[in-house]
């Protein structure tokens, strides 16, 4: 027997899936494979949270397949890709491996190249399909938006899963499979339901609520994990949200973010070095020293700035916070604590339930101010708390140790006089940490140093070169 292997990576769905559709149309037996690769799970950006998210999505896929009588067509393996494919090939004979192109980190890129080489040696076609609107080897960005829109608007071809009941192959006994976890909330239908609910009511006030952490969790779509792990495609979200909703401006703003998402990923496709290196090398010589104790206070939610610490605790527990608070966390650690963004990047990536390399590294660098292309934003966490958590609702939820203080002091506990603190039985430095730095001073320092670099000839030269070349993705890793 010879079979097609459909390899699911960050595209854990069975609809809007060209590799699966192509395999099913071929007439040969088909096996769908998901891999949990130890080498990928050892990466600093990876976490147990990501593993659980992927497992939950595998369980949801199993349920979807069960509905067409093809549960066994999906095999979930723990092992390195080459080892797993070699074992499948030896036992069944692989006719081809079909997958979406992955705009991932360097390690996944190297893994994919190794698979391509192995396939060449085995005479097995490794067929990679474009992933959504992302174009590999893009030669010019000038028409990218048009192409993206054409893809997003194009009708979505059906995938006839019933074929799997006849031609799905059970690989499960060939190799060690994983026990999968409960699937609730992790399938394509769950994502679609979430989107429909949000378009029904949640979206109202989205634009205003987005910056406010207590409101954002209800008014943002919360689709990011579904999109990042591929339970739903951007195209599916785009088409379902067309002409929907009462608050049209909010839905339009949401839809433009779907395009930004792919725009960022397209840039990462062309400039993968941004995973490690400053986009603009003019910033290379500054902020180079990692101070473990300082970084650890930020990681442990012990900076003494309530909004920063509340965001970190929220992330640790839920894996999600809104855009503005992510930006503030990066701003705090890079500008106020003066730590290299690279030192904070893995911490956040592993906490984010929706970790998406193409967005993550670009945003890390934008917020750290190392691109030389974007406005420098240094968020003051006191101002952010006043503007976006005026009643300290969010702070109180995540820092219950501050709940006994009057609202203004929950945002700035250091302002309590010793008498007030004693009356409230509150000991700054014991019940809640003292401020790690004074943000007025650190903000000024960061602004002075970074603006000096931004205005330098070197930075401007690099920025011009980046603008001229960022559009081309031919330079994807060799
Ligand atoms: C430092 C930093 C790191 C980030 N890392 C990630 C990440 O790893 N994965 C991730 O999905 N988002 C990331 N974001 C972007 C943004 O914060 C999240 O996409 C958003 O908060 C997810 O919530 P939502 O699904 O409710 O978004 P909504 O506001 O409902 O937006 C819908 C979708 O649009 C996309 N989107 C929204 N905002 C942005 C944006 N600013 N840039 C690019 N795409 C966007 C996402 O796919 C999102 O699911 C990061 C932002 C910052 C500042």
- State the CATH number of the domain containing residue 105: 3.40.50.620
Rounded to the nearest angstrom, the distance between the alpha carbon of 118 and the centre of ligand 1 is 35
* Residue 140: Cβ-neighbour burial (10 angstroms; 0-12, 13-18, 19+): exposed
- As a whole number, mean pLDDT of residues 260-288 equals 96
Rounded to the nearest angstrom, the distance between the alpha carbon of 356 and the centre of ligand 1 is 9
CA dist., res. 375 & res. 436, Å (int): 26
pLDDT 10s digits, 235-270 = 999 999 999 999 999 999 999 999 999 999 999 999
Looking up residue 449, the CATH number of its domain turns out to be 1.10.579.10
CA dist., res. 195 & res. 190, Å (int): 9
- Exposure string over 376-385, b if 16+ CB within 10 A, otherwise e: bebbbbbebb
Specify if 72 maps to a domain. yes
Question: Pick from 89, 113, 135: which residue ends a domain?
Answer: 135
Domain count, the chain: 2
Specify if 291 maps to a domain. yes
The pair of structure tokens assigned to 394 is 């969010």
Which residue, by CA, sits nearest to atom 48 of ligand 1?
224
- Residue 473 confidence (pLDDT) above 60: no
pLDDT band at 374 (very low <50, low <70, confident <90, very high): confident
- pTM across the whole model: 0.96
CA dist., res. 21 & res. 60, Å (int): 19
Rounded to the nearest angstrom, the distance between the alpha carbon of 100 and the centre of ligand 1 is 22
Which residue, by CA, sits nearest to atom 22 of ligand 1?
224
Q: Which pLDDT score, from 0 to 100, does residue 475 have?
A: 44
- Residue 159 confidence (pLDDT) above 70: yes
- Exposure string over 409-429, b if 16+ CB within 10 A, otherwise e: bbbbbeebeeeebeeeebebe
Question: Pick from 135, 166, 188: which residue ends a domain?
Answer: 135
Ligand 1 lining (C-beta closer than 6 Å): 220-224, 227-228, 254, 257-258, 260-261, 264, 322-323, 326-327, 330, 352, 354-356, 359-360, 363-364, 367
- Work out the end-to-end distance of the chain between its first and last CA atoms, rounded to an integer number of angstroms: 35
Specify if 349 maps to a domain. yes
Rounded to the nearest angstrom, the distance between the alpha carbon of 393 and the centre of ligand 1 is 23
pLDDT 10s digits, 406-464 = 999 999 999 999 999 999 999 999 999 999 999 999 999 999 999 999 999 989 888 88
Specify if 145 maps to a domain. no
- As a whole number, mean pLDDT of residues 117-128 equals 98
Domain with 376 in it: 281-469
Specify if 244 maps to a domain. no
Specify if 229 maps to a domain. no
Specify if 225 maps to a domain. no
Which residue, by CA, sits nearest to atom 49 of ligand 1?
224
Specify if 96 maps to a domain. yes
Q: Which pLDDT score, from 0 to 100, does residue 178 have?
A: 64
Question: Pick from 100, 135, 170: which residue ends a domain?
Answer: 135
- As a whole number, mean pLDDT of residues 36-42 equals 97
């Amino acid at each position: 027997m010879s079979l097609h292997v459909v390899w699911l990576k960050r595209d854990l769905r069975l609809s809007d899936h060209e590799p699966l559709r192509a395999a099913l149309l071929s007439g040969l037996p088909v096996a769908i494979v998901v891999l949990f690769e130890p080498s990928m799970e050892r990466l600093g950006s990876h976490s147990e949270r990501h593993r659980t998210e992927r497992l939950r999505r595998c369980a949801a896929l199993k349920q979807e397949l069960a509905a067409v009588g093809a549960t066994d067509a999906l095999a979930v393996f723990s092992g390195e890709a080459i080892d797993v494919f070699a074992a499948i090939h030896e036992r069944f004979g692989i006719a081809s491996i079909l997958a979406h192109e992955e705009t991932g980190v360097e390690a996944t890129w190297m893994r994919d190249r190794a698979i391509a080489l192995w396939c060449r040696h085995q005479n097995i076609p490794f067929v990679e399909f474009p992933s959504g609107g992302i174009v590999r080897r893009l030669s010019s960005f000038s028409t990218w938006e048009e192409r993206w829109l054409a893809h997003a608007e194009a009708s979505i071809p059906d995938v006839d899963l019933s074929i799997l009941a006849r031609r799905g192959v059970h690989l499960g006994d060939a190799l060690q499979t994983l026990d999968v976890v409960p699937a609730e909330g992790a399938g394509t239908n769950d994502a679609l339901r979430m989107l429909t609910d949000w378009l029904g009511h949640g979206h109202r006030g989205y634009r205003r609520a987005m910056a406010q952490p207590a409101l954002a969790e209800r008014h943002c779509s919360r689709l990011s994990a579904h999109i990042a792990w591929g339970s739903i495609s951007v195209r599916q979200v785009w088409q379902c949200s067309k002409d929907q909703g009462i608050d049209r401006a909010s839905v339009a703003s949401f839809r433009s973010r779907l395009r930004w998402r792919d725009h960022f990923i397209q840039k990462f496709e062309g400039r993968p070095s941004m995973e490690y290196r400053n986009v603009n090398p003019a910033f290379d010589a500054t902020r180079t020293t990692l101070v473990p104790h300082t970084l650890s206070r930020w990681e442990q939610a012990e900076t003494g700035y309530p909004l920063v610490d509340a965001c970190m605790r929220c992330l640790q527990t839920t894996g999600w916070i809104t855009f503005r608070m992510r930006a503030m966390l990066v701003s705090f650690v890079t500008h106020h604590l003066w730590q290299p963004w690279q030192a904070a990047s893995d911490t956040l990536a592993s906490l984010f339930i929706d970790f998406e390399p193409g967005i993550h590294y670009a945003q890390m660098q934008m917020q750290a101010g190392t691109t030389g292309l974007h406005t420098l934003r240094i968020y003051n966490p006191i101002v952010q708390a006043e503007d976006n958590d005026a009643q300290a609702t969010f702070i109180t939820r995540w820092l219950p140790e501050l709940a006994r203080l009057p609202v203004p002091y929950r945002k700035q506990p250091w302002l309590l006089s010793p008498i007030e603190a004693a009356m409230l039985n509150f000991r700054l430095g014991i019940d809640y940490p003292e401020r790690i730095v004074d943000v007025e001073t650190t903000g000024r320092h960061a602004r002075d140093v970074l603006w000096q670099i931004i205005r330098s000839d070197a930075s401007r030269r690099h920025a011009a070169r980046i603008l001229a070349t960022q559009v081309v993705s031919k330079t994807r890793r060799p």
